Amino acid sequence: MRLLTHSVVVCTSTAPATQSQIPTPRAMTMSSFTSLALSPTPVVSFNVATPSRTLDAIRASGCFNVHVLKGGVAGARVADWFTQGNDQGHKVFEELSSCGVELVGADSGEAANQKSGLEPPVLKGVGVLYVIRCKLLDEPSGGLIPVRDHVIVLGEVVEIIEASATKGIRGANDCFGLIYADRRYRQPGNTLIRSDSPQPGRPDSEVKD
């Protein structure tokens, strides 16, 4: 599995307030993110090892943001920054400028819980291509499926925010997402063969150019 490339994204969510603390932002870097379905609404999925503070925040708030990172040094810095975990709560978000991103408020979208103060953190900067705003899928199992020591998360896409890093350069070679293989962050290389055949596991009717 180390020889297979995987997408690398950063997922954010917000843990509700408790008697001892205010709402707390959470984040994690993950390599299991994938598109699951397009209709009747887009659905994405990923899996998380338990226990996880970010998963707890997703479960409690019902919503999360997935940040698609740029396939280059800037994106790799963002990914690496959020591998340090959530032990210290807000601290991981307080020095974001060191990895070239900033924390901004929720945009004008329709994300679940926007009015409750539990909207997930939004990251913007040169290493972020898109922000995919999601809410937990109602079915099955409320969007959370336990599998041994992991939980599969199913999210319904509510909105996609185009980050500033993509504007004016859409289609450029360096605008593909960050990938990971053999314990290293990597970026896509040259096109080898143009393929017009269906994606593996999908019928012809699902393939769109």
Q: Where are the domains of the chain?
A: 6-206
Q: Would you say 111 and 132 are in contact if contact means Cβ atoms under 8 Å apart?
A: no
Write phi, then psi, for 178 (nearest 5 degrees): -70, 145
CA–CA gap between residue 109 and residue 79 (Å, rounded): 25
Write phi, then psi, for 137 (nearest 5 degrees): -70, 135
86-108 pLDDT per residue, tens: 776 677 888 888 888 998 864 43
Beta strand pairing status for 184-186 and 9-15? unpaired
Q: With 70 as the cut, is the pLDDT of residue 139 above it? A: yes
**Kind and range of the H or E run holding 185:** strand 184-186
151-176 pLDDT per residue, tens: 999 999 999 998 865 555 555 555 79
**CATH code that applies to domain 6-206:** 2.30.110.10
**Residue 170: partners with Cβ closer than 8 Å, 6 or more residues away:** none
